[in-house]
Amino acid sequence: MPEITYREAVRHALAEELERDENVVLMGEEVAQFNGAYKVSEGLLEKFGPKRIVDTPITEAGFIGTGIGASMLGIRPVMELMFWSFYSVAFDQILNNAANVRYMSGGLINCPIVIRGPANGGTNVGATHSHTPENVLANHPGVKVVVPATPADAKGLLKSAIRDNDPVFFLENTMLYGLKGEVSEDKDLLIPLGVADVKREGTDLTIVTYGRSVLHSLEAAEKLAKEEKINVEVVDLRSIRPLDIDTVLKSVAKTHRVLIVEEQKPFASVGTQLGFMIQEEAFDQLDAPIIRVTTIDAPAIYSPPVEVEQLPNVDRVYTAALQAVKS
Q: What is the CA radius of gyration of the chain?
A: 19
Shortest CB 273 distance to other proteins, Å: 20
Which run of H or E residues covers position 75? none
- Identify which of residues 182 and 287 has a Cβ nearer to other proteins in the complex: 287
- Identify which of residues 267 and 283 has a Cβ nearer to other proteins in the complex: 283
- Identify which of residues 188 and 284 has a Cβ nearer to other proteins in the complex: 284
- Identify which of residues 123 and 285 has a Cβ nearer to other proteins in the complex: 285
Q: Which residues touch 216 (CB under 8 Å, ≥6 apart)?
A: 209, 261, 312, 313, 314, 316, 317
CA distance 102 to 164: 13
Shortest CB 285 distance to other proteins, Å: 6
Alpha helix locations (H) across the chain?
A: 6-20, 44-48, 60-72, 91, 101-104, 134-138, 151-163, 213-228, 245-255, 270-282, 304-310, 314-326
- Name which of 300, 311, 309 is nearest 84 in CA terms: 300
Shortest CB 287 distance to other proteins, Å: 4
- Identify which of residues 75 and 288 has a Cβ nearer to other proteins in the complex: 288
Shortest CB 232 distance to other proteins, Å: 17
Instruction: Report whether 146 contacts 238 (CB < 8 A).
Output: yes
Using CB under 8 A as the criterion, which residues of the chain lie in contact with other proteins when the complex forms?
256, 283-288, 327
Shortest CB 243 distance to other proteins, Å: 22
Cβ-based neighbour number of residue 289 at 10 Å: 12
CA distance 243 to 261: 15
Instruction: Report whether 119 contacts 174 (CB < 8 A).
Output: yes
From the list 8, 80, 129, 134, the catalytic residue is 129
User: Which amino acid, one-letter code, is at 124?
Assistant: N
CA distance 327 to 309: 24
Shortest CB 305 distance to other proteins, Å: 32
Q: Which residues touch 68 (CB under 8 Å, ≥6 apart)?
A: 93, 97, 98, 101, 111, 113, 167
User: What SS3 class is residue 3?
Assistant: strand
From the list 8, 17, 60, 172, the catalytic residue is 60
- Identify which of residues 75 and 249 has a Cβ nearer to other proteins in the complex: 249
Annotated active-site residue 60? The verdict is: yes
Shortest CB 238 distance to other proteins, Å: 28
- Identify which of residues 128 and 323 has a Cβ nearer to other proteins in the complex: 323
- Name which of 189, 196, 197 is nearest 158 in CA terms: 189
What amino acid positions are annotated as catalytic residues? 60, 129
